[in-house]
Amino acid sequence: MLVPNKNPKVYDQVIEKIKDKIKYGEIKKGDKLPTEREMAESLEVSRASVREAIRALEVIGLIESRHGAGNYIRTNFNNSLLEPLSIMFMLQESSPKEMYDLRETLELQCSKLAAKNIDDSELKLLTELLDKMYVASSEEESVELDIKFHQLIAKASRNVLLINVLNVISQLVDEFIRNARMQIFHEGNTKESLLWIHENLLRNLKKRDESLAHNAMQEHFDLIRKSYGYEN
């Protein structure tokens, strides 16, 4: 039985019980939850507390309510848990340096994993993106291609957690890429030097060499760091 107290509230305890069931594999993606009445009886709480917990989990995207069919654990979280977390990151107003540190940490690991896991079709897509970057007619088009290039490398890592974290901060990362390119050019670097860095990264991904891919991605971040004047 859950014992009501001021902190946490009863519905918070219900949420924790549901999370525990997920954690220990008692409930899996796509599973239907027991009815509100069944949950209320098994946890010995009011149906109102269960309803409040379900509503909270639905808001953050862990649960989806199907009209007339009940409540289910979601099978796809791409557009659910990500949005609240993305808003949280934006509200915290992270500094460009913090954004740089986070992106460097995540993407260096992505580059190593991508070198090991990337397939031929993804390498072909990266090559096509790079070719388009060479002939892009505007900086805005170049930025969009640059963003897609990095997104595809993240996807090729095959690490769902890394991919999801990058998706969570996608709006911040996209803005960071735009600002970083402007700063790089402002410091006298050319579009060609930035393209060469991407070409070198692709070349080492094609070799499927984790160390070389990591080093190539590090060169990319070294250029950004120098352009911003960040210390090692």
Q: Are residues 44 and 96 in the same domain?
A: no
Q: Is residue 78 part of a domain?
A: no
Q: What's the total number of domains in the chain? A: 2
Q: Is residue 5 part of a domain?
A: no
Tens place of pLDDT per residue across the chain (232 aa) = 554 444 457 888 888 888 888 878 888 888 999 999 999 998 889 988 898 888 888 877 788 888 888 999 888 765 555 555 555 555 566 677 887 888 899 999 999 999 999 999 999 999 999 999 999 998 889 989 999 999 999 999 999 889 888 877 776 677 778 888 887 887 777 788 889 999 999 999 999 999 999 999 999 999 888 888 876 6
CATH of the domain at 55: 1.10.10.10
Q: Are residues 174 and 66 in the same domain?
A: no
Question: HSE on the CB side for 38, CA within 13 Å?
Answer: 6
Q: Are residues 67 and 104 in the same domain?
A: no
Q: Rounded to an integer, what distance in angstroms lies between the CA atom of residue 156 and that of residue 112?
A: 10
Range of the domain at 52: 10-73
Q: CA-CA-CA-CA torsion for 180, 185, 191, 193, nearest 10 degrees?
A: -90
Q: Are residues 21 and 105 in the same domain?
A: no
CATH of the domain at 171: 1.20.120.530
